[in-house]
Amino acid sequence: MSRFVYVTYIRTTPAKLWQALTEPDFVKRYWFDSWQECDWQVGSPWRIVREDGSTADSGEVLEVEPGKRLVLTWRNEFKPELTAEGFGRMTYDIEDQGGMVKLTVTHEIDVENSKLIGAVSGGWPHILASLKSLLETGQSLGEQACPQGG
């Protein structure tokens, strides 16, 4: 088993954070031009779509509790050595802390020394920092880092 856990605290409400995690137009703003495509029903397929329309990752919805918890199966679809590891699991846990919200992202897979977990360990902190910036300042990190609109 390989596991990555990241915790961040965001000055927002659980409802706003849930919206930010699940609405494609919002996701696109902090996920560096990728977004999630899904109807967020248990058993539904989901995927991360890149700007060119290709699929970056895909899976199925295992648990949905709006404002509280979302669990997905997750397989990388663009790097063959990561795809070969099969499906892992990604969980968002949301906890209201009065004036701010604690978001815990847990990404795990039943593979020792997983390359997938190695890869997402580098990606999640940047994406979640970008999300926090967008919710707190109105600008994501991508929007701040590329003032020329790149």
Chain positions contacting other proteins, by CB under 8 A? 5-11, 97-100, 125-126, 129-130, 132-133, 136-137, 139, 141, 144-147
The residue (of 44 and 137) whose beta carbon lies closer to other proteins is 137
What percent of the chain is helix, strand and coil (3-state, nearest 5)?
A: 30, 35, 30
The residue (of 60 and 95) whose beta carbon lies closer to other proteins is 95
The residues near 73 (Cβ < 8 Å, ≥ 6 apart) are 59, 60, 62, 87, 88, 89, 90
Q: How far is the CB of 137 from other proteins (least distance, A)?
A: 5
Among 56, 51, 47, 45, CA closest to 82:
56
Q: How far is the CB of 93 from other proteins (least distance, A)?
A: 13
**Kind plus residue range of the DSSP H or E element containing 82:** helix 80-83
> In the chain, what is the greatest distance between 2 CA atoms, to the nearest angstrom?
43
The residue (of 87 and 124) whose beta carbon lies closer to other proteins is 124
Q: How far is the CB of 58 from other proteins (least distance, A)?
A: 26
Q: How far is the CB of 147 from other proteins (least distance, A)?
A: 7
The residue (of 11 and 79) whose beta carbon lies closer to other proteins is 11
Cβ 88 vs Cβ 3: under 8 Å: no
Q: How far is the CB of 103 from other proteins (least distance, A)?
A: 10
Among 90, 80, 86, CA closest to 110:
86
The residue (of 42 and 145) whose beta carbon lies closer to other proteins is 145
